[in-house]
Amino acid sequence: MNTNFRYDINGLRAYAVALVVLFHFGVIGFSGGFIGVDIFFVISGFLMTQIIVSGLEKKTFNFLKFYISRANRIIPPLVALCLIIGIIGWFTLTPQELKDYGKHAATSLSFLSNIQYFRESGYFNTDSHEKLLLHTWSLSVEWQFYILLPIIIFIITLLTKNKLVLRLTFLVILLISFLLSILITKSNPTAAFFLLPTRAWEMMTGGLLYLFFQNKVFSPSKKTIIEIFGFFLIVISVIFFSGKTAWPSYNAVLPVLGTFLILLASKNNSILTNNRIVQFLGNTSYSIYLWHWPIVFYLSYIEKSHEIKYIILSIILSITCGWLSFKLIETPTRKWLSKQKVYLNYISTLIYISVPMAIFIAFFVKDGMPNRLPQKINNIAQQSNNRNPLMQKCHIEEGIKVPECKYGNGPVKLIVIGDSHAAAMIRSVEKSLPINSSVLDWTYSGCPTVEHIKKLNSPNFKCGLVISKFINKLDQHPNTPILIINRINVLFHGAPDGDNDLTKPIRYIDRPFQAYNQEYYNAMKIAYVDTLCKISKKNEVFVTRPVPEFPSNVPKTLAHKAIIHSQTRMKILRAQYMQRSKLSYEAQNEAAEKCGVKILETANFFCDNNYCYPDKDGMPLYFDDDHLSIYGADQLIPLFKKVSEK
């Protein structure tokens, strides 16, 4: 046994990667497994501080050698992963997916992917699982930390040899970063999750451990107690935290402190961290981490992400790919590169990064190379873009200034009030109108047609106020029919693709609710029915039933099926649609009975007696998981004509 090797640190890496893998594969009991990344951050802070400080003390530290040493460890397996997945993606990804992959691979290899993903969406959002290299955000954070840490330590050491000043500097940075983490998690959780300023405190915690306790030795019994308590904090974090938890914020203190204590114990002979299985996983942890997420992506691609046997096989495949990467790429390249002279090492690194980078940039610039796929598949995938081209101009997401676009020529014969579902369908409503007439667009993103409705933590969401404004303006449009189109199920159940927490409503009228319960349902139904009836006092009102919603992006899923020649049709049970729509149907029926609102039935355009389908003759009817494409909305033109015929 190597007495200088920290088996406890290697063992901690094993637990960290295991937690992340089990979390990403959705294994029950590991809802907080994402804390594995926080464990990695603390370990990195400890090791990097040790390397830099000890090197400066011995006068052996060299900036160029430090950076290239990190590069030799991290970049070759990452380049190999990106190239191999790029080859697989050439045959399996839609043009938009390959274009996005090119962008993400380039930002991953330049260690800016955390910034890119921050700009795109949250880590726990549904669409984040469609990004093949999402997990590389943590590598970017670490690399940014690697760049800055030696500079900070060098400057402090140059100015003073007093280690207390260095400790105080670390402590100040830690406290500032921790405060930012708490504050920014509240105001911008995506930024807090992905960016270095709100993550640095975790790595600085590891650094402070080295600066304060590098020579501290505990008795065997104390080591055991400290280690066990550290693992206890990590286990508690895994069990009680989830993707709904505000992160990192103050919640991350638990796993960070747990990791701190295990490192502090420095129990090199612990059965928990020093056994064959754990050491194997620790040695291969980086490569396993790299490979597991693309496997998660492709498991979802083949629609097997909820089948236990496939999950087990995928976890085994992740470990196998990680081991092969470790044996064939990670270890040999690191050994070979480390033997080269520093300048040759840098040249080699520049070359083996530049070549794949050029390929990935070409993927992006050439729009995902659409000519590599049959035109039929491209036609399916392109339905993602087959949407109302004026949505961005005519459809607001906040504030009170609705553009009020008019579609068609001639006098206004119909007004559409609603949310993004209305904006998606309005061009088909226009087609249903008589010649020389137009439709007025009164749509607002995420806005159910409910007066006084508000959203938690969304001060610019003025939907309820805007609905009142619309009602008051109806005096200017006497005898003009009103067509109300909403994703109304969201009012009663939340949006699976938009709300962070589907157990606690974010919408309210007078006061927030703590759960989707009968009291909440009654409040929303009353507000919805009252609003419809208030509108119907001035104008004739038509309201569409909610259209079926699907569990994944329809054009992408259908394109994937076409690529792999799957004969299984995408569908949901009609009973599932009816169950989600039950409260909406009841509210609309009540409005019909109470004030004569006329209901337009949509279900039969998408469903038979047993199932609802998102396509017609293989062509998607949706441009995502719940919004109708122009092609899909055109199927409802006969329904919309019932309005203009009145």
Q: How confident is the model over 402-454, as pLDDT tens digits?
A: 898 999 998 999 999 999 999 999 999 999 999 999 999 999 999 999 999 99
Q: Are residues 355 and 478 in the same domain?
A: no
3-state DSSP assignment of residue 639: helix
Q: Are residues 363 and 407 in the same domain?
A: no
CA 392 to CA 343: how far, in whole Å? 51
Query: Is 624 inside any structural domain?
Result: no
Please say if the pLDDT value at position 484 is more than 50.
Answer: yes
Please say if the pLDDT value at position 486 is more than 60.
Answer: yes
Q: How confident is the model over 562-595, as pLDDT tens digits?
A: 999 999 999 999 999 999 999 999 999 999 999 9
Q: Are residues 299 and 400 in the same domain?
A: no
Q: Are residues 393 and 349 in the same domain?
A: no
Q: How confident is the model over 595-607, as pLDDT tens digits?
A: 999 999 999 999 9
Whether the link from the prior residue into 255 is cis, omega within 30° of 0, is no
Q: Which residues pair with 600 in a beta bridge?
A: 544
Q: How confident is the model over 230-244, as pLDDT tens digits?
A: 999 999 999 999 988
Identify the weakest region by mean pLDDT among 264-268, 495-499, 503-507. 495-499
Q: What percent of the chain has pLDDT over 70?
A: 98
Give the pLDDT confidence score for residue 127 in this predicted structure. 66
Query: Is 289 inside any structural domain?
Result: yes
Helix, strand, coil content of the chain in percent (nearest 5): 65, 5, 30
Q: Are residues 184 and 302 in the same domain?
A: yes
Q: Are residues 509 and 598 in the same domain?
A: yes
Mark which of 325, 348, 372 sits at the end of a domain: 372
Q: Are residues 357 and 445 in the same domain?
A: no
Q: Are residues 357 and 225 in the same domain?
A: yes
Mark which of 372, 399, 414 sits at the end of a domain: 372
Instruction: Catalogue the E-assigned strands of 344-409.
Output: 406-408
Mark which of 372, 400, 423 sits at the end of a domain: 372
Query: Is 405 inside any structural domain?
Result: yes
Q: How confident is the model over 91-121, as pLDDT tens digits?
A: 999 999 999 999 999 999 999 999 999 998 7
Query: Is 200 inside any structural domain?
Result: yes
- The number of distinct structural domains making up the chain is 2
Query: Is 563 inside any structural domain?
Result: no
Query: Is 2 inside any structural domain?
Result: no
Domain that holds residue 509: 387-549+573-608+633-644
Query: What is the DSSP track for 316-344?
Result: HHHHHHHHHHIIIIIHHHHHHHHTS-HHH
Please say if the pLDDT value at position 1 is more than 60.
Answer: no
Q: Are residues 363 and 448 in the same domain?
A: no
Query: Is 292 inside any structural domain?
Result: yes
Q: Are residues 209 and 282 in the same domain?
A: yes
CATH number at residue 506: 3.40.50
Give the pLDDT confidence score for residue 643 in this predicted structure. 85
Q: Are residues 401 and 492 in the same domain?
A: yes
Per-residue CA distances from 90 to 82, 129, 267, 360, 383 (Å) = 12, 19, 47, 11, 20
Q: Are residues 431 and 297 in the same domain?
A: no
Please say if the pLDDT value at position 518 is more than 80.
Answer: yes
Which letter does DSSP use for residue 569 in this model? P
Instruction: Catalogue the E-assigned strands of 185-264.
Output: none
Query: What is the DSSP track for 212-223?
Result: HHTT----HHHH
Query: Is 637 inside any structural domain?
Result: yes
Cα torsion angle, 324, 327, 330, 333, sign: negative
Q: How confident is the model at residue 3 (pLDDT cuts 50, 70, 90)?
A: low
Q: How confident is the model at residue 644 (pLDDT cuts 50, 70, 90)?
A: confident
- Convert 191-223 to b/e letters by CB count within 10 Å (16 or more is b): bbbbbbebbbbbbbbbbbbbbeeeeeebeeeeb
